[in-house]
Amino acid sequence: MFKLFNCERNLKYILRIRLNATVGWITKTNRLCGFIIHVGNKQKKFYSDDSSILVKFKELLACKVSFYNVYEFYDFKEQIGKGASSRVVKAFCKFTQKFVAIKIIDKTTLKPLNYASLEQEIEILLKVKDSIYCSQIIEIYQSQYAFYIVMRLLSGQSLSTYLENQQGEIQKKLTNKQILQIMRRLLEGVNYLHSVGIIHRDIKPDNLMLGEQDNFDTITLIDFGLSTFTKINRYLFYKCGTPGYVAPEILNSAVRNQQSESCDIFSCGCIFYRLITGKNVFKGRTYDELLHKNKQCLIDFNVKQEQHSNQNAIKLLHSMLRKNPDERITAKAALQSSYFYNESLFSINDENWDSSPLVNQLPQFTATIGRVFQLTARDFTSQKLIIPKQRDNNFYSPQLSPIRKDQQ
């Protein structure tokens, strides 16, 4: 808790740190002049001539309590996403002169379990807020009817939208290099989550946003509404995710079965399958048929693959889509697989070549031409590798629908 003292340095007010605690801000011409707290049914106002102190105090309280009078700080622009119990708008901050994304959650649709889910989502967002792989929370506001979660704005589109646009363009397919970029960035993000004790549980193209337009190295994981901590006694949601991307053990599990990080790996494998084949891993004419194939893990590995796929990719794909979660590869091991080592050096099936951001130095070679010691890019210390140059919003809040009947 924070202790607010009067001029005589005697303890007078206590502000309890929790999401339901609210602090208001007094502003004048886009400048902080003071703040407001509630004591019983009364408001207590505090003023300062030093705006910089108030700015630091506001930053200190951000995401620990809720602020109100959101419209004093943000001009709301167009809607950029919509979910079951929320919508996302683009907004302009009057104080920082920057655009942000604000997720607006309707309080009238929330039940007690949903409030607990929201608090857990915010707790997870706070844990990953400094990561380049995850959506970054800035602050939280609330009014009588809604919560407002202010996030860093991602200027690109979702991977789902990108893939849909690709299908609409004649003969335009993802190259081997692009698939590798997507999967490397995705697995790096998942590996980070697992390293800090978080399972996402709803990884799918809709929940992967490009931080920059057409830049796969900026892919960002969003929507942590179904996420959970690995070390937890009881899940808020047991059977959750998106049919077509959810791990079969989630759909088949008994109520109190412990879940592991490997469910995220299966979801990543479903995305990998779609990138390689251009098709969804599970297909059904009806929702029930789709769900049945997903639960039974009925996967057609004989489906025609794109011409730029290779055996290293297929081997990794199989290891990610194993039905038994204990037999699945981990994110860390996947990043160390031959697919990323070999393909990051040579994209022999691409018509054009480019240098990879992972590899800018030439490694040691054995007598066998083209065989590379398995070293990470950070260990490459010899000559520079030169390769011919290539020519070359979707937020969905799951607060009310742990199992969603949507299939990308």
Task: Say yes or no to pLDDT of 37 above 80.
Answer: yes
Check residue 231 and give its pLDDT.
84
CATH architecture type of domain 159-379: Orthogonal Bundle (1.10)
- Phi and psi at residue 8, to the nearest 5°: -90, 5
> In this predicted model, what pLDDT tens digit does every residue of 335-387 receive, in sequence order?
999 999 876 554 444 444 343 333 333 333 333 333 333 333 334 333 333 33
Q: Looking at the annotation, which residues are catalytic?
A: 202
Check residue 16 and give its pLDDT.
80
For the chain, domain boundaries: 2-152, 159-379
Q: Report the alpha-carbon distance of residue 124 to residue 118 in Å, rounded.
A: 10
Q: Report the alpha-carbon distance of residue 80 to residue 266 in Å, rounded.
A: 29
Check residue 210 and give its pLDDT.
96
> Kind and range of the H or E element at 208?
strand 208-210
Listed range (130-139, 159-168, 210-219, 312-321) with the worst mean pLDDT:
159-168
Q: Which pLDDT band, with edges at 50, 70 and 90, does 42 fall under?
A: confident
Q: Is 283 annotated as a binding residue?
A: no
Question: Helix, strand, or coil here: 126?
Answer: helix
pTM higher than 0.85, yes or no?
A: no
Task: Say yes or no to pLDDT of 257 above 50.
Answer: yes
pLDDT average, residue stretch 321-331: 96
Q: Which pLDDT band, with edges at 50, 70 and 90, does 165 fall under?
A: confident
Show the 3-state SS of 246-282.
CCHHHHHCCCCCCCCCHHHHHHHHHHHHHHHHCCCCC
CATH architecture type of domain 2-152: 2-Layer Sandwich (3.30)
Q: Which pLDDT band, with edges at 50, 70 and 90, does 109 fall under?
A: confident
> In this predicted model, what pLDDT tens digit does every residue of 54-105 receive, in sequence order?
999 999 999 999 999 999 999 999 998 887 778 999 999 999 999 999 999 9
